[in-house]
Amino acid sequence: MAMSTRLAKSLSKLIFPVILLIVAALAAASVWLTYRTAHPDAVKYLVTPEKYAQLSSRGSQVTDETWTNKDGSTSRGWLLRGIENAPAVVLFHKYGADRSYILNLGVKLNESTNFTVLMPDLRAHGENAPVKNSSFGGCEAEDAISAVEFIRNLKTPNQITLVGKDVGVYGIELGASAALNAAAIDKTIKALVLDSVPENSDALVTDAVSRRFPFASSITTRLAKVGTFLYFFDGCYKRDPSCETAKKIDGRSILLLAGLDAPDFQESTTKLSKCFASGNKIESKTDLSPSGVGIINASIDQSEAYDRRIIDFFRNNLGN
């Protein structure tokens, strides 16, 4: 009996360090995956306003602006001023993209409506990003509110407030999550276009990890989701479902978009349409091919049709 007890103790002394090492390795791997995903690869802008000016005179009117977020960090964006007292729209890109992906839409929107248009880089996106860490929609929502405040405080050369009372927001995927969360807090946002809205931040992480680390993605995505609890323990990572956020929004005009090119987000966006209160005016088009997620690879005709749908929606629902 004594020998059995000693043997058990000896085995436990051997096995426990191994188990501890495995747990530590898994924890380290989960944090590393989250860290890598929260830091998208830095890429050059697809197009700059200077280059775009060769196609449209509005491109030469784009200015590069910066402002301070609620947490003291800095955001930046391209700004196209509209006419005095006209509405404004803020455009938010998807994860892994940057403001150059929405420059064409922003210029077209400004040309067609004379609205003021702001195109920010989300956290950790764009060349030499001032904030290096994405939070998959949490801090981005606070940043979106700061962007709306910035655009509301714009002045004309005569120090008259430039933007009228109506503001709209547009976002794809990560940008849609930020726009949705911002609208739930800022009741002055009147119109929303949300393309491919994730079910929650975990869904964003899952999609980003599976694209970035496709090998054994079923394992890496689970590890990364666990890693968010450790990596964002003192941050602003939000786990609230988009549906719960949508229930806080009332009295707005909302256009929901999604498509076959992002089936997971197509499903979550379709479900989201049932979450908004009855006081909202909801339009939905969730069978696009492609959605805004893949619009960069679309034909000219497809891109034109997509942009026209968004421009017409904002024209019809802002300033009326």
Write the pLDDT tens digit of every residue in 235-267.
788 889 999 999 999 999 999 999 999 999 999
Q: What is the pTM of this model?
A: 0.92
Domains of the chain plus CATH, in order, are 1-38+203-235 (no CATH), 43-200+238-317 (3.40.50.1820)
The tens digit of pLDDT for each residue in 97-109 reads 999 999 999 999 9
Q: What are the φ and ψ backbone dihedral angles of 57, each rounded to 5 degrees?
A: -65, -25
pLDDT-based confidence at 44, cuts 50/70/90?
very high
Helices (H) then strands (E): counts for the chain: 10, 8
Report how far residue 126's alpha carbon sits from residue 100's, in angstroms, rounded to the nearest whole number.
8
Long-range contacts of 268-272 (CB under 8 A, 24+ apart): 268/197, 268/198, 268/199, 268/203, 268/242, 269/194, 269/195, 269/196, 269/197, 271/199, 271/243, 272/194, 272/197, 272/242, 272/243, 272/246
First to last CA, the chain: 87
Q: How far is CA 214 from CA 28, 58, 78, 139, 207, in A?
A: 19, 40, 33, 27, 10
Percent of the chain with pLDDT over 70: 91
Q: What pLDDT, on the 0 to 100 scale, is given for residue 5? A: 62
pLDDT over threshold 70, residue 40: yes
Q: Tell me: the pLDDT tens digits for 271-291?
A: 999 999 999 999 999 999 999
Indicate if the pLDDT at residue 19 is higher than 80: no
